Each structure stands twice: as C-alpha cells, then as structure tokens.
Structure 1
Amino acid sequence: MRRALLLPLSHSSVAAERFAHRLGQLVNIETPSGCVKGLNSAYDLLQEWAGDRLGRPERVIRKGVPHLHWPNTDPTVPRSRRVLLLGHADTVWPMGTLEENPFAVRNGRATGPGVFDMKAGLVLAFEALRQLGDVAHVSMLVSGDEERGSITSRALIEEAASTCGAVLVLEPSQDGAVKTARKGVASYRLGISGRAAHAGLEPENGVNALTELAHQVLSISELADLGRGTTVTPTTGGAGTTVNTVPEQAFVNVDVRAWERAELERVEQSLRALQPRQPGAGLTFEGGVNRGPLEREMSLDLLRTAQDIAERLGLEPITEARVGGGSDGNITASLGLPTLDGLGPDGGGAHARHEWVDIASVEDRAALVAGLIAVRAA
C-alpha cells in the first residue's frame, strides 16, 4: 500500500520567495465571482503549478461558471484515505480594482485584492504538496463562485467530497487559528403587495406596501436570539415607484446566521408564519438555508491531529476559532465528512482593501497541511 511521505521541513527562504512570486501572479489575475475569462486564466496558472502530480484536471462548467477539479481516480486508494483540498479562486473585488490597489510586498506582508481571501490559500496548497512524496490519495477542487454562496458549485463540491474521507479547507486562518465551527447561513426575500393610489387625492384607497414593510422589518428583527448567537438581519429593501403614489410593491432581503441547524429551522418557520398587518396586503417568501452550520464535532478529530503534528514539527501550538461567516466547509461538514477549515496562512482584512498575508507564516502552515494529508493517507 502506498503511503504519503512527508519530507523534511527546510526552514529556508526559498519557499517564502516562491510563495510571494506565485501569489503575485495569481492576484494579478482579477477573478470576480463568475468571471469566466479571469477564472480560466487563474486555472491555467494553477494547472501549470500542479504539473502532472495530481493527474488530469477537469474544467467543470455549471450554469456558465467554470470550476477546476482534480478528481482522485486511483482505484487502489480507499475512500477513507482520500483527502480533498478545497478552495475558491473568486474574490469579492470587481474588475479594475488592481489599478487602485495593486499587489505589493512590504515588510514581509503581501497586499492586494483577494490576497488573503483566499488566493494565498491556493498557493499554499501547492507548497504543501511539494512536501509530500506521494499524492495519489489527494484530490483538489477550486470553485469560482464561493463568494456568491457557491450557487453553481454546490453540487460539484458535494460530488467531490463524497469520494473522500476528509476535507481540508484552505480558507484564511483567524488570527492564526484554524476554524472548527462556522455559522450556518440562510437568505430570504420577503415580497409585499399592496394597492396603489394617488398619494394626494385618495391615499385612503391604497394599501401602503412601504408601511407594511416597516411593520414586517420590526417583526423580523425580533426573531434574532443573540444569546444563542442567532442573527436575523434585514439588509436591503425598497418600495414604491413615484413620490406621489401609495407604494403598491415592497421587498426586504434578510440574512440569517446561526450556530445550530435547529435555530435556522426555527427562524425559517417563523418567517414563513408572518401575517400581513394591514387589510389587503399580501406577503410572499423566497429563499432558504444556503449553508448548514459547520459544527465543531465535525472538526474535532482533525483539530487534534493538527495539534499533534504541530507539536511534533516544533510549530506554534494550533488554536481554534469559530466564526460567523460561512464557507464551502459548511457544505462538506453537512455531508457528515470530517472537515477542518482556516488552514490558509496568517493575515487579516478579509473583504477589506487592507487585506494582507504574512509571508513568513507560509512555510509552517504548508508543513501543517502536508502533515495532515500524510496522516490521513497512512
């Protein structure tokens, strides 16, 4: 039986220099979510770095969005030993951001759009693979719409993960900590119908959808349970057509996040049970759970393994964090697969113009990921 060979950690500057160079190459390809041209250019670069070590990759197009998948097709490797490296190439930044915020490295920090979330994690994956003698048990998936909720890539993620025994998510770390829990995420749109009327001549003949919206927003906000960490946040909304007309239509979008699936279900049931406050008004609901929670028990074994590896290699102790934002790790954990998130390098400022990565953290983090892969393969 083939086993992964973990090569010695070099503690040289070569890996850091290579990482910084490659990170610059990748950041200088702008990849807004779903941007076909940019994503394909980034995938070309990733394929070049991978060479033939992971086998032949697939460009999988779902609803017009390309994704890059190296499947594990070796029939001699049992599922329990297979590891999926999971990440995304898309960023929240629109085309043209590089002109005002170019990639740069100063005082050991790399900056630029998408540098922390999560192009550094993709580059780190290949640094980790360099430390392994055998990668026959590794598959890798890079999606192109994670920042939009993985709408087109969800099924592909589920398919890829279902062939593996563990998932390592290369999303950014949280102040150096791996992420062992993430809130589940749900999104809803409440539509309100009323009846139009002239605002000056006969407003009493209308049913004001904006007034109904105000009532509903207050009711929706009351569904939060901050003691349990459940947030229910009206985010965007609108109503009306002209300044002298009683609004006939209105809407509000609602963001829901919770540590427990039961809480997501409670909020959804409550939202769907809302009733109009004005006679003649109507309510419609769209949406649902986008990502279930990544609960700690799905990460615990991998966390302990990571802590053992760090101690054995003389790395800084591995700590854990739970965060409110969702990732594709939520999807794989919901399938019942051991999932450890936040394995990317140290840094900060996700989704902010000042996002940055600590170049010096890369080598140790790559050694940790390589160690996790090797242990799972043994």
Structure 2
Amino acid sequence: MPQVNAKILPNTAALPMRALLAGARRKQSQLIDLTRSLVLAESPSDDKAAVDACADLAAAHATSLGGRVKRHRQRAHGDILELRFGPRKPANRILLLGHLDTVWPLGTLKTMPCRVADDPAGNTRLWGPGTLDMKVGVAMAFTAIEMLSEASLLTAKDAPEIILLLNSEEEIGSPVSRPITEKLAQECSAVYVLEPAQGLAYKTARKGTGNWRLTVHGLASHAGVDFTRGRSAILELGRQIEKISAWTDLDKGITLNVGEIGGGTKSNVVPAEAWAEIDLRTVRRADGPRFEKRFAALKPTPKSGCTLSLEGGINRPPMERTRGTVKLMRKAQALAAQLDWNLTEASTGGASDGNFTSALGIPTLDGMGAVGEGAHATHESILIEHLAPRTALLAVMLTS
C-alpha cells in the first residue's frame, strides 16, 4: 500500500482516499479468506464452545496485527473479546462494535456451504451462514486496521486508540455483553458498528425493542361433560392479543407483533394454559418505559376466571438520529464523495448493540459493514464489489 504521511493524520479530508481504496483492493482476497475462516468456525449464540473457538481465531489474528487482547470470560455464553490497537494513552478512542455469534446451528454449512459464486444477475457473492451478519464486518475491521498499521497511521502522535469489541451473544439480546459495551463506549468519542448496510446506506437510526411472554392460566375441564366448569386460557389469550395488538401506532413508529402462541392439550379439553411471545418496536426512548407500564397493568377480562403472568421487558432502547451521529454521517459522506460514491443514510426497524451506545449519548454510526442480502435466511450472502470501498472508508473514519 502507498505510504501515507502520518503528519496529516488529524485532517481526514487530506488522507488519500484513492490510495486507500487501491490498498483495500489489493487486500480483498485476503479479506475474503479471513471472512471464510470465520464463517467456517460456526458459532451459534447458544453454543459457548463454538463461539469461543471462533473467538480464538479472531484473537490470534488481532495478535498478529499487534493488537492487545483482553478476553472477558463467561460461563454460560461465549467469551467477549476486547481488542485494542494503537497508542496506549491516546487523546482519543474509537470503538468498533461487532459480534461473532450467529443465528445458525452447528452443521448449517452442510446445506449452506461457504463459497464464492455468481448470483443469477451475474454479481459475484460470498455465500454462507453468518457471512453478512456479520463475520465479514469483523474481517473488514481487521483489514482496515492492518492498512492503517502498514501506513504507520496507528503510531502517529495524534492517532486514536481503536477498540474492537467482539461480542458473543448479540443475536439473543446481549445479556452479558451490554455492560462491557456501555463501559467501553464511555471511553470513546465515537462508535462505529460493523453490522450490514441498509441497502448501500449507513444507518443513523434504529428502533428500540422489547419482548414479553404472556401466560394465561385457566381451569381445565372436559369439553363435553363439564364444559361450563372450565376456564379457557386460549379464549382469554385471544382477548389479550386483541388488546395488545391495538396498541400499534404506525404513525408513531410503534408496532406490537404476537409472533408465537401456544396452549391447550387436547381438542376435548378446555385449555388450562396458553401463552404468547410479543415483540415491541419503538422509535423514541420515552416509549419504552411507557409500554413497560402498560404491560405490567394488563389484567384478565372480568369474569373470565383466568389469571395472567408476564415475563420480559425492554431489551434495547432506540438508536435515535442525534446531532453527533449526523456529524459522523456528514464526514463519511464527504470522504465517500472523493471516491465518487454517493453515500446515503437510512433508518431501520431492527436493533443492534449500537442502540446501547447511542442511548448513552455517544455518537454512533451503524451499518458500516458489508452490502448483501439474506441475513438470517438461507440465501445469506455479500456482494464482493462493495468490500474494498467500504473497507477504505472505514479505515479513514478510524483516523480521527
């Protein structure tokens, strides 16, 4: 890669974007190979040994790049990796936020092999479970850091320290990594999230999420012999579902989805128990506490003879489009324009660990990973043509 004068480090506008792009293109095959290695290390969230094996690969690669590795060991979940690059006592720090776990069970590679092949439209893709969400994002981060290191940009006087945090259970709500994420974010001036792009866009806003399990307890009886004695939990659950679904307010970006239900034992038995899993999405932070109160205030229909029990709550606050995030976005757009790339921004109903850091007031830019499609689906893949430009932009964003 062409050498870059470290004296121009603080002025990102002066960094040679086209030279960085050329360097990223030269490293593209290496980036794909690293992604493939991470994908082949299948790492479902609920398999600690598998996630830890993938973390071993990431930790070894970080060490090869001169990174300082701290492993936050966990009992029930995979270990969390905190990888630091650059000066130990910098004036500034930037957090790169990613995760190593996927939604795919062990053995998925047998039916979804990791391979490079063209799609029906002739676009070359890397296919496989966890490619897009989000092992390629991790590989992009390592490649960007390697490019900066080779150009001596991590040893410059004013270089920031880069913290690459790789969580192990993001796909199941980040139950143990959240406090680590929040603590490290508070050391940093900006957070860059390695989740996939929204189309081609970076993400400047995400909805918040909540999850509840509502269980209705009724009274079983014989549906033919003693029907009136029974108290149908399924019937009462239906009433509760109607009530909860009516809270949806599309104009305010609020949705409630009953995604799973169950209950009963036999068709000739009045059901004694029924349950539902409910998903909440909100746009504003204030909506979370309000809905927690609404769920807590749920009561059974009068004269139903049933009782209710409830588990769950708000999982992630919304990532709101703050002034700090907009400032980061504007800088990214100006740099992308040097590559004749019209970088746009988007919001999404999905959540990430960036929701946590944004809620703390730390400027957070999301969707800085790969371009592709099929996250959590059998056609999961990334478009290879976008890897180099997005890696080059990530690299230059890390230098301020």
Q: Deviations over 1:317-357 (max 9, x none)?
A: 21001001100000111111110000012111211111211
Aligned to 2:263: 239
**Which secondary structure does the structure 1 equivalent of 2:310 belong to?**
strand
Question: CA–CA distance in 2 between the matches of 1:10 and 1:197?
Answer: 71
Counterpart residue identity of residue 342, structure 2 = P
Q: Is the 8 A contact 1:62 1:153 kept in 2?
A: no
Aligned to 2:29: 17
Aligned to 1:155: 179
**How many corresponding residue pairs?**
372
Identify the match of residue 112 of structure 2 among 101, 122, 125: 101
Q: For structure 1, which segment, 47-56 or 106-115, has the greater mean C-alpha deviation from structure 2 after superposition?
A: 47-56
TM-score when scaled to structure 1?
0.92
Q: Is the 8 A contact 2:65 2:146 kept in 1?
A: no
Question: CA–CA distance in 2 between the matches of 1:67 and 1:217?
Answer: 38
Identify the match of residue 282 of structure 1 among 301, 304, 307: 307
Question: CA–CA distance in 1 between the matches of 2:75 and 2:36?
Answer: 29
Counterpart residue identity of residue 268, structure 1 = E
Q: For structure 1, which segment, 218-227 or 270-279, has the greater mean C-alpha deviation from structure 2 after superposition?
A: 270-279
**Which secondary structure does the structure 2 equivalent of 1:264 belong to?**
helix
CA drift of 1:271 comes to 2.4
Q: Is the 8 A contact 1:179 1:341 kept in 2?
A: yes
Identify the match of residue 83 of structure 1 among 94, 109, 123: 94
TM-score when scaled to structure 2?
0.87
Question: CA–CA distance in 1 between the matches of 2:9 and 2:184?
Answer: 21
1:124 matched to 2:140: yes
CA drift of 1:16 comes to 1.5
Q: Is the 8 A contact 1:315 1:364 kept in 2?
A: no
User: CA separation of 1:32/1:315 partners in 2, compared to 1, >3 Å: closer, same or farther?
Assistant: farther
User: CA separation of 1:51/1:73 partners in 2, compared to 1, >3 Å: closer, same or farther?
Assistant: closer
Question: CA–CA distance in 2 between the matches of 1:56 and 1:344?
Answer: 23
Counterpart residue identity of residue 67, structure 1 = I
Question: CA–CA distance in 1 between the matches of 2:298 and 2:368?
Answer: 41
Question: CA–CA distance in 2 between the matches of 1:102 and 1:337?
Answer: 38
User: CA separation of 1:4/1:34 partners in 2, compared to 1, >3 Å: closer, same or farther?
Assistant: farther
What 5-or-longer segments of structure 1 have no aligned partner?
none
Identify the match of residue 174 of structure 1 among 198, 202, 213: 198
Give the alignment's Cα RMSD to 1 decimal.
2.1
Q: Is the 8 A contact 2:21 2:392 kept in 1?
A: no
**Which secondary structure does the structure 1 equivalent of 2:398 belong to?**
helix
Aligned to 2:80: 67
Q: Is the 8 A contact 2:95 2:163 kept in 1?
A: yes
Identify the match of residue 391 of structure 2 among 354, 366, 370: 366
1:314 matched to 2:326: no
1:291 matched to 2:316: yes
Counterpart residue identity of residue 293, structure 1 = P
**Which secondary structure does the structure 2 equivalent of 1:277 belong to?**
coil
Question: CA–CA distance in 2 between the matches of 1:72 and 1:100?
Answer: 37
User: CA separation of 1:278/1:285 partners in 2, compared to 1, >3 Å: closer, same or farther?
Assistant: same
**Which secondary structure does the structure 1 equivalent of 2:101 belong to?**
coil
Aligned to 2:127: 111
Identity of aligned residues (%): 39
What 5-or-longer segments of structure 2 have no aligned partner?
1-5, 119-123, 155-159
CA drift of 1:264 comes to 2.9
Counterpart residue identity of residue 369, structure 1 = L
Q: Is the 8 A contact 1:54 1:70 kept in 2?
A: no
Q: Is the 8 A contact 2:86 2:161 kept in 1?
A: no
Q: For structure 1, which segment, 137-146 or 41-50, has the greater mean C-alpha deviation from structure 2 after superposition?
A: 41-50
Counterpart residue identity of residue 354, structure 1 = H
User: CA separation of 1:92/1:240 partners in 2, compared to 1, >3 Å: closer, same or farther?
Assistant: same
Please show how residues 191-340 of structure 1 align to structure 2 within 5 Å.
191-279=215-303, 280-297=305-322, 298-311=324-337, 313-340=338-365
**Which secondary structure does the structure 2 equivalent of 1:261 belong to?**
coil
